[in-house]
Amino acid sequence: MSPSLRGPRRRLSLLLFLALPLLGVRCPELQDLGLVPVAEGLELPVYVTAPWGDPRLFVVEQRGRIRVVDPVSGEVGATFLDIRNLVSQLEGWGLWSVAFPPDYAETGHFYVYYQQGTDSVLSRFVAPDPAADVADPASRFELIRVQMGGTEAPGGGLQFGPDGMLYVGVGEGGYSTTGTGSAQLVRRARGKILRVDVSGGPRDPYSIPPDNPFASSSVALGEIWALGVHDPVRMDFDLTTGDLWVADRGRTAREEIHVLPAGFGGLNLGWPIHEGTLCMRTVSGLPCETPETANLFSFPVHEYEHGESCRVVGAFLLPNPGATTWLERPFLFADACSDHLFVLALGQSWDLSALGEDVTALSGVAAVSRDGFGQPYLVNRGNGRLLWLRLGPDGDGDGVLDAADNCPAAQNRDQLDSDGDGEGDSCDDGGGEY
């Protein structure tokens, strides 16, 4: 897609986003939200997820393990995968993400993103029995290896999209104060969001989707979906629209949240020319722009000041059944070094930190992500805790938002109307779907 098409659409979206607070928009109903402790004793947890429809939780530990957690009992059970012998233990490096494809229950294939030495690596592993709690570490099949040139910004966002493609957020790695800036070089994978098709045979690494923006280019990597990111630590898809939300950690000035509209490959998010809406420096003759004059660059829908050693760790879209555009989808995010949790909706953000009576519950959040039924979880790298963000009401009426609010017979974390009569059965269904 040409820059002349990219800029105007993003400029219009940003202007609409900034204008919405003037329309009298109010905060979503938040009184039923609550943080529920699920498990503790994890070692440097940085991510949690699960295959779709799977009741287990898979928690990624930075030093190279994936642990299985029971979301009801909180028991930290088997080690699903242990690749500590492969993962670099340099400060800021490690195992960052795992992604399960839609056909995981049939193939047992899953994908992890980690650093080895000074390289970032995407590898596939196999669980011989997908229903069991142990994968085979010897099944490793390396798909992508990126020489990072430094240990500053590893990236780590890893998601399967509604289109079945695997999206990979590769950080910039080492930062260059002179020269072109690797995030702007389309012949390099650093500072990019990659998109690949991993649906081939067991010994096929991947293929390049023909609708990738550089799929047929002889001078650019066909894997590139978007460029100009610094440290895309977390990503999440709006499963209704297919839009991709990206939490991009800044380097010196701004933390950024971007929205990549479904099907719009080739967007340039601006780094290192821009950090958020701030002009940083000229690279390869590309000048800075403003959101109002943007032609080459896609600006964030939200940004805030960058604190020392902090990173935005968003990537969860709260439900909004009446939403028709990405502008109406509340986005949940936190910051890794603060005790604050935020929801961003319709151009405004609200601090949800009061949800945690213990402020240390939110200090050091490394990820905001979803389980196999779309429910939001947080992991706290600093104290090894896993928390569930309760979206619904106090199901059992005891005044406490806890695991007892779940319907024991339910297959997900919601309260279900099992007989279809419109009323809760063994426990109150809360009157909504998440």
Q: What is the pLDDT of residues 282-332, one digit of tens each?
A: 776 788 999 888 899 999 988 888 665 566 777 677 666 666 665 666 788
Tokens of 312: 């935005």
The percent helix, strand, coil of the chain (3-state, each to 5) is: 10, 35, 55
On whether residue 343 sits in a domain, the answer given is: yes
On whether residue 417 sits in a domain, the answer given is: no
- Alpha-carbon span 276 to 257, nearest angstrom: 9
3-state secondary structure of 159: strand
- Alpha-carbon span 20 to 222, nearest angstrom: 37
3-state secondary structure of 352: coil
SS (H, E, C) 217-257: CCCCCCCEEEECCCCEEEEEECCCCCCEEEEECCCCCEEEE
Residues 246-251, mean pLDDT to the nearest whole number: 88
Single pTM value for the model:
0.83
Residues of the domain holding 245:
3-405
Question: How many CB atoms neighbour CB 314 within 10 A?
Answer: 28
Confidence of residue 432 (pLDDT cuts 50, 70, 90): very low
Q: Is 394 exposed, middle or buried (0-12, 13-18, 19+ CB in 10 A)?
A: middle
On whether residue 412 sits in a domain, the answer given is: no
Question: How many CB atoms neighbour CB 12 within 10 A?
Answer: 11
Question: How many CB atoms neighbour CB 90 within 10 A?
Answer: 12
Higher pLDDT, 88 or 359: 88
List the one residue out of 90, 85, 83, 81 whose CA is nearest residue 119. Answer: 90
Tokens of 357: 């009576």
Which residue has 């000074």 as its token pair?
118
Residues 352-356, mean pLDDT to the nearest whole number: 59
Confidence of residue 382 (pLDDT cuts 50, 70, 90): confident
- Total domain count, the chain: 1
The CATH number of the domain holding residue 365 is: 2.120.10.30
pLDDT tens digits, 167-199: 999 999 877 554 467 899 999 999 999 999 999
On whether residue 58 sits in a domain, the answer given is: yes
On whether residue 419 sits in a domain, the answer given is: no
On whether residue 414 sits in a domain, the answer given is: no
On whether residue 432 sits in a domain, the answer given is: no
**Percent of the chain at pLDDT exceeding 90:** 47
On whether residue 169 sits in a domain, the answer given is: yes
Question: How many CB atoms neighbour CB 143 within 10 A?
Answer: 16
